[in-house]
Amino acid sequence: MSLISPLALLAAAIIGPIIVAMYLLKLRREERTVSSTFLWQQVIRDVEANAPWQKLRYNLLLLLQILLMLLLVFALARPFFATQGISGRNLIIILDRSASMAASDTPPSRLDTAKATALQLIDQLPDGGRATLILVGGTLEVPAAASGDRRELRAAIQAVALANGGGSDLAQALSLAAALAARDEQSEVAIISDGNLSLPNDIRVPARVSYFPIGNSSENSGISAIALEAGQNSQTLFVQVSNYGSQAVERRLNLYLDGALFNAYTLNLAPDLNQSQNIVVDVPPTVQQVEARLAGSDVLPADDRAFAISTFGSQLNVRLLSSGNHFLETGLSLLPNISLNNPNASAAPLSIIDGAIPDSFPAGNLLFIGPLRSTDYFSVTGQIDFPSLRAVSNSDPVLKNISLSEVSVLKAARIVPGSWARVLVTSDGAPMLMVGERDGRRIAVLAFDLHNSDLPLQIAFPLLLSNLIEYLAPGGSGAQLSPSQTLALPLDPSITEVRISRPDRSQASSGSGAIQIRAGQAIYADTDMLGIYHLEALRDGSVVQRRSYAVNADPQESPIRPQADLRIPQTSGAESTTARNRDGRQEIWRWLALAALIVLVIEWLVYQRNGLVLLRQRWMR
């Protein structure tokens, strides 16, 4: 144990003797009438003994007052214990709430353990210190910013809930933390996570970064993929089960078609993702819903269940505005459930504008490819010759399973993006691919013409096209959604109301504002809960359209092996973020002050004991 203000102990050397001296001073005499002269002898002896000082006698009040003085002086010295924690006055906590934090290897869950660690750090804040809470996993949130109110900070931490979707990208959170830390040289960043995060490589934090690892097990197996593909006269069900741990396990997979048990498989899963078990089976075309369920339990139950919804007969209408692009037309035709330029379609939720920009844009979301002039959404200021493509963030869903670094481009438009845009691929600072949302539309811009690149000849082209369509028309061509992915369903203009039944059977409707109807689409964003969502479109109170969507656990969250360290560059030159055992200070002056208050109450009761006895006697009478 150490002291922050050891000079405060000098107060004991000053105040202690004063308290003792009060009990050594000569007592003040009182005149009393006595009934006998025999008592004069005692008075004379007492007077002779009363010099200016008298002998110190045992006194309970003296002991209590000295104890009170020692507790107060010791509290003023601010004793503390060195512990694992933080020492900065400006604390920035980055708390991971992603799906992997639901693992129960640290009961009741990793998230609860992480919250307890965050509360401990708040308790270690020095007087006058402040803290900021940043949540990663799902949409970035800052429920408490530069607050010195411990009650507010504790309430914000206790209110943190799990986010099933959105991934675990640390780039945005570290950028914000670096900006906050730059304002105060006594800043410190604390990352509380299991370490399964996407780390940026171009951010240097101007403060010390400490990492508090959560979790102690890597053993988990789950359903990594499920799909129900519609054929001409049947449907094909594909289920993949993977073992993410280090030990071989045996799991039983049960398949349910429309709620009835269809088949069961015993799977021996090796601890190797390259040896995942695949089940491929034909199911009748009448099947509407499939559930795959792993029997038993492990530390992460979220990926032990998965659902698939039939898309048999459903189509996504896509409007293509182009002077002719064989590559684009072929790529779209290879994607399932895509209906291109259907003249009988009442609405097209997505329009692809290839090259020339029309004077007015159709309703719905927009994909620009090789734009030739500026629009209200972006500006074209020139041309870039032989751009070299570089991904800004490979964790974005649009770039999932895609690498564009090997794509050769002859020339591309130099684009100045609007504030709405999120740049995904750049070349010397100029955006090559950007996405975002403005005026209720989802927009994507690819800066180069497909004819001026070899992208159509690479395997990345159909994957990029599929990911872009999934982003621009989520749920439009299929019935699978990622957790927290926005659902956008094209609607006939005559639709008056839309209702959604969530997996927990709660209801949401456009009338309550939970579902927005704009630009010919029903937009619903609260899809973080895993399970089946049933949507109904109504016209004048009658249901005219029904769709179902499945939201399954993100397989990227299934590897739960906790990381011992995170490599994050800091301006001090350090990169390791492992928290040392004696970094923090656990002050105990508050407990000493509480003990002093208790002693003070006891001292007052002892001093007033005669009066209290008299008061008690009167009360009893």
Worst-scoring range by mean pLDDT, 199-203, 351-355, 451-455? Answer: 199-203
d(CA 471, CA 487): 10
At the topology level of CATH, where does 85-217+560-579 sit? Rossmann fold (3.40.50)
What's the CA gap between 183 and 208, in Å, rounded?
14
Q: How many CA atoms lie within 13 A of 193 on its CB side?
A: 32
Q: In which element (H, E) is residue 489 found?
A: strand 487-490
Task: List the Cα angle 381/385/390 in 5-degree steps.
Answer: 90
Say whether pLDDT at 244 is over 70: yes
- Quote the CA–CA distance of 225 and 411 in Å, as a whole number: 38
pLDDT at position 277 is 92
* Average pLDDT rounded to a whole number, residues 316-336: 86
**What does the buried/exposed string (b/e) look like for 550-580 if buried means 16 or more CB atoms within 10 Å of the residue's CB?**
bbbbbbbbbbbbbbeebebbbeeeeeebebe
Secondary structure letter of residue 599 according to DSSP: H
The answer on pLDDT for 448 being more than 50 is: yes
Rounded Cα–Cα distance for residues 591 and 589 (Å): 5
* Residue 401 to residue 397: CA distance in whole angstroms: 9
- The tens digit of pLDDT for each residue in 71-94 reads 888 788 777 666 656 667 899 999
| Cα atoms in the 13 Å half-sphere on the side-chain side of 321 | 19
pLDDT at 476: 58
**What does the pLDDT read at residue 478?**
59
Q: Where are the alpha helices (DSSP H) in 357-405?
A: none
Q: Which of 36-45, 73-82, 357-366, 587-596 shows the lowest mean pLDDT across its residues?
A: 36-45
- pLDDT of 301 reads 92
Give the number of other CB atoms < 10 A from CB of residue 318.
25
Rounded percentage of the chain residues whose pLDDT exceeds 70: 86
Q: What gap in Å lies between CA 384 and CA 364, rounded to an integer?
A: 30
Q: Over the stretch 516-536, which tens digit does the pLDDT of each residue have?
A: 887 667 888 888 999 999 988
**What DSSP character marks residue 371?**
-
The pLDDT assigned to 54 comes to 57
The predicted pLDDT at position 582 comes to 43
What topology is assigned to 316-477 in CATH?
Rossmann fold (3.40.50)
- Of the CATH numbers 3.40.50, 2.60.40, 1.20.1540, 1.20.120, which one belongs to the domain with range 481-551? 2.60.40
Which has the closest alpha carbon to 272: 310, 246, 237? Answer: 246
Average per-residue pLDDT for the chain:
84
The H or E element spanning position 481 is strand 480-481
Mutual orientation of helices 589-607 and 60-76 as an angle, nearest 10°?
Answer: 160
Ranges in the chain annotated CATH 2.60.40.10: 221-312
- Round the CA-based radius of gyration of the chain to a whole number and report it: 36
Do β-strands 277-283 and 316-321 pair in parallel, antiparallel, or remain unpaired? unpaired
Q: Hey, which residues does 242 pair with through a beta bridge?
A: 222
DSSP state of 189: E
> How is domain 221-312 classified at the CATH fold level?
Immunoglobulin-like (2.60.40)
Segment 47-71 shows an average pLDDT of: 69
User: Band of the pLDDT at 103, cuts 50, 70, 90?
Assistant: very high
Has this prediction a pTM greater than 0.85?
no
* Contact status, residue 60 vs residue 160, Cβ threshold 8 Å: no
What single-letter amino acid sits at 204?
A: R
Gap between the Cα atoms of 266 and 279, Å rounded = 11
pLDDT tens sequence across 572-610 = 777 777 655 445 566 777 788 888 888 888 888 888 877
Query: Is residue 609 a contact partner of residue 243, using CB atoms and an 8 Å limit?
Result: no
Burial of 543 (0-12, 13-18, 19+ CB in 10 A): exposed
Which pLDDT band holds residue 48 (cuts at 50, 70, 90)? very low
Q: What is the pLDDT of residue 596?
A: 84
Rounded-to-integer distance, Cα 319 and Cα 316, Å: 10
| Other beta carbons less than 10 A from residue 504's beta carbon | 7
Asked whether the predicted pLDDT for residue 142 surpasses 70, the reply is: yes
CB 87 within 8 A of CB 208: no
